[in-house]
A = this chain, B = another copy of it.
Amino acid sequence: MSDILSEVLGANAKFSADFGERGKLAIPPARRFTILTCMDARLDPAKFAGLAEGDAHVIRNAGGRASDDAIRSLVISYKLLGTREFFVIHHTECGMGYFSNEVIRGLLASSLETAELTPQGFRDVGKGGGSRAGEYIEWLTFKEPKQAVLDDVARIRSHPLIPKSIPVYGFIYDVKTGKLVEVEGARTVGAAG
């Protein structure tokens, strides 16, 4: 067994030994809201937003983008499980600002080994065996963090399956301070349903 696998199972055994009343939680989020944020390891949405188990849906992907799959999840969240406010939370120093479609497609075509991050950007260290399948994926990178939040909030706001009554908030989490900073112009207050 890998060290990581045994560490995760060991941590889970301790966690579940004192599970208590959490086993009785209902499916719908008790506080009726949803956070869409980045997969970045430095982010713990439960901690930075003050969530207990059962409180809120949390959707995470590379960049915290309003991808088609995030829209799928947001629609299930409000339509079937009753959430009524959405938070889009990107963060400073996001990896999605350090490459482009062209860069990652080139790196993947070269090899499937992890690239090295140099002051000149990502550099491939692999020895062949790459794949051109990356050409068929839109990687959803961005250059301007605030604009990316505005874009994601706007995409959710204007999606035909998202009711106008749901407010959508846009934030950037500062990985140096742990603070949530609202992006000016992002917030769209819900209209009367």
A-side residues, CB < 8 A to B, are 2, 4-5, 7-16, 19, 22-23, 25, 27-34, 39-44, 46-51, 53-62, 67-73, 75-82, 84-85, 87, 93, 95-96, 98-99, 104, 107-108, 112-115, 117, 122, 129, 131, 133-134, 137-140, 159-163, 167, 169, 175-180, 193
Contact = CB atoms under 8 A, between A and B. Distances in A.
A7 to B, nearest CB: 7
Contacts of A163: 112-113, 129
16 contacts: A4-B31, A8-B87, A8-B180, A12-B178, A23-B175, A23-B177, A27-B40, A28-B41, A39-B59, A41-B54, A41-B56, A72-B137, A72-B140, A80-B104, A80-B122, A81-B95
Nearest to A141: B76
A130 to B, nearest CB: 9
Copies of this chain assembled into the complex: 2
Given A23-B178, A59-B61, A80-B115, 12 more contacts: A5-B167, A5-B169, A12-B49, A15-B48, A39-B77, A41-B53, A44-B46, A46-B46, A68-B137, A71-B137, A72-B140, A79-B107
B8 A49 contact: yes
B50 A178 contact: no
Given A22-B178, A178-B16, A61 B70 contact: yes
B107 A133 contact: no
Q: Which of A48, A115, A161 has the most CB of B within 10 A?
A: A161
Nearest to A8: B49
Contacts of A19: 177-178
A125 to B, nearest CB: 11
B46 A62 contact: no
A54 B91 CA distance: 14
